[in-house]
Amino acid sequence: MLTWQIGVDLLVITILTMAACGSGVENVADGVCKTGGCGPVSAVRSDQARYDNYRIYNVQFDNEEQIKLFQKLEDQSDSLTFIGHAREIGQKLSILVAAHRVADFADILKTYKMQHRVLTYNFQEKIDRNLREVIPEGIDPSKYDWHHYFHLKTIYEWIDQMAVKYPERLTVLDMGTSTQGNQIKGVKVGHNPSNKAIFIESGIHAREWIAPATATYIINELLTSTADYVQKLASNYNWIIFPCVNPDGYKYTFEHDRMWRKNRQLFGTCRGVDLNRNYPDHWNTTGSSSDPTRYDFAGPTSASELETQRLIEFIRNNVEKEHIKTYIALHSYSQMLMFPSGYTKERVPNYDDLQEFGKKAAAAIKAESGRDYVSGSLYETIYPSSGGSMDWAYSEAKIPIAYTFELRGPPDSEDLFILPAAEIQPTASEAFAAIRAIVEAAAEKDYYK
């Protein structure tokens, strides 16, 4: 038994060593890495999750029986990835179905006469295309752009480079480290002490790569755009932006599993807390799971996670000092602009204002790109969920303008979270237009007085 174990370990080490040296066979022969391809990223290529022949179905629920059936199905199966939960009649839900379950799943749809569409027949093709749009780690950060996706390291190097380029306007911020010791780095653009501040949280869900890309786009616009309205936004407000508040998860999506969502905290044989279910506001009351194997695991206790604690501490220390009056959380996908609450359908005190600003933001997007974004409270618009950062920022930190954006694609996207890189620039641009609309409308109503 012991021998067998050692044998397996040796085999694994051999595979990793080979992969660590990239494709150059001569490097393997002498066992020394000579190329820039060595290091943890290339070393783990050999154990990347794959989704060959996984299908995405979009199903519609027409009666209670179908809803109950699919609730049970979600509980029972780890080879079906539900994008949301079965809840109500008329609802449409996307489900990623493992290749070995396709026949069985298709049979269920037929047996219960469910309306459905197949959105994608081989999900791995989407992932492969997407990974080709990633610029390798180690690139000169001056090559950073909004036509590719970038590793955490490159994003951080780009931030540092911008700080050197714009020393009067950009300050690098450090929220502290994550569970696995990665830095949670951000920026403050502008430092007029009498300005009100806008806080942007991004990348809390690892696989939603468009979120960090959008955050860096906004930083870049604020620093480099010559457009009159951008310069006004940059000089009238201070902007505190953290592109990646879940760095462990983000790295994991590049190195091991493109579909990872949570952080990387260990719970026996599985990992990860959904950080956007972990905040201490009506924690673990609705739309979250107590099971660590689930994608929406709320954590063992409220604010159990280091990443959650870091953000809470940062906001508590800065909300008054920096006059933070607006909180924007960037996510994908579904094209929605949502405000509190997530845990209840009860309306928050300034519901009418938030509704009005959200509608203006959606109109601004429509005017810019023609895309349809839906606005409303989170509970009404996407699905009930508790322990979200936006609810906490609004009710505990008392930040009166709080939104969660679900960026592209549409609710029935055939790409799920794998947004083509060609859409980064237009998505980020329309998100910035929406933020502008919200900020300008809120200013008119004296929220920044």
Ligand X SMILES: *[C@@H]1O[C@H](CO)[C@@H](O)[C@H](O)[C@H]1NC(C)=O
Active site residues: 406
Nearer Cβ to Zn ion, position 292 or 342?
A: 342
What mask, x for binding Zn ion by CB under 5 A, covers residues 159 to 198? ----------------------------------------
Q: Residue 205 binds which one of ligand X, Zn ion, none, with CB within 5 to 8 A depending on kind?
A: Zn ion
Nearer Cβ to Zn ion, position 234 or 416?
A: 416
In Å, what is the CA distance from 297 to each residue of 128, 309, 372? 28, 17, 30
Query: Quick one: tokens of 205?
Result: 């869900």
Q: Residue 282 binds which one of ligand X, Zn ion, none, with CB within 5 to 8 A depending on kind?
A: none
Q: What are the percentages of helix, strand and coil residues in the chain, rounded to 5?
A: 40, 20, 40
Q: Residue 264 binds which one of ligand X, Zn ion, none, with CB within 5 to 8 A depending on kind?
A: none
Whole-number Å distance between alpha carbons of 68 and 46: 39
Using the rule CB under 6 A, is 265 a contact of ligand X?
Answer: no
Using the rule CB under 6 A, is 317 a contact of ligand X?
Answer: no
Nearest approach, Cβ of residue 283 and ligand X (Å): 8
Beta strands 196-202 and 324-332 are: parallel
Q: Residue 331 binds which one of ligand X, Zn ion, none, with CB within 5 to 8 A depending on kind?
A: Zn ion
Query: Quick one: tokens of 197?
Result: 């501040």
Q: Residue 284 binds which one of Zn ion, ligand X, none, with CB within 5 to 8 A depending on kind?
A: ligand X
What is the Cβ-side half-sphere exposure of residue 142, based on CA atoms within 13 angstroms?
2
What mask, x for binding ligand X by CB under 6 A, covers residues 271 to 300? -------------x-----x----------
Nearer Cβ to ligand X, position 278 or 284?
A: 284
How many residues make contact with Zn ion (CB under 5 A)?
2
The amino acid present at 220, given as its one-letter code, is N
Question: Considering only residues 331-350, where is the footprint of Zn ion by CB under 5 A?
Answer: 331
Nearest approach, Cβ of residue 285 and ligand X (Å): 7
Those residues whose C-beta lies under 8 Å from the C-beta of residue 397, and which sit 6 or more positions away, are 315, 316, 319, 324, 327
Alpha carbon of residue 137 to chain centroid: 20
Candidates 157-165, 205-213, 301-309, 424-432; binding stretch for Zn ion (CB under 5 A): 205-213
Nearer Cβ to ligand X, position 95 or 273?
A: 273
Q: Residue 48 binds which one of Zn ion, ligand X, none, with CB within 5 to 8 A depending on kind?
A: none
Nearest approach, Cβ of residue 26 and Zn ion (Å): 44
Whole-number Å distance between alpha carbons of 331 and 406: 5
Whole-number Å distance between alpha carbons of 232 and 211: 24
Phi, psi of 257 (to 5 degrees): -150, 110
Q: How far apart are the first and last CA of the chain?
A: 71
Nearer Cβ to Zn ion, position 327 or 448?
A: 327
Q: Which residue is nearest to ligand X (CB)?
A: 284
Helix (H, G, I), strand (E, B) or coil at 294: coil
How many other CB atoms sit within 10 Å of the CB of residue 361?
A: 26
Using the rule CB under 6 A, is 308 a contact of ligand X?
Answer: no
How many residues make contact with ligand X (CB under 6 A)?
2
The amino acid present at 224, given as its one-letter code, is T
Alpha carbon of residue 206 to chain centroid: 5
Nearest approach, Cβ of residue 289 and ligand X (Å): 9
Nearest approach, Cβ of residue 55 and Zn ion (Å): 22
Could you tell me how many residues make up the chain? 449
Taking alpha carbons only, the member of 197, 190, 204 closest to residue 243 is 204
Nearer Cβ to ligand X, position 26 or 291?
A: 291
Helix (H, G, I), strand (E, B) or coil at 437: helix
Q: Contact residues for Zn ion (CB under 5 A)?
A: 205, 331
Q: Contact residues for ligand X (CB under 6 A)?
A: 284, 290
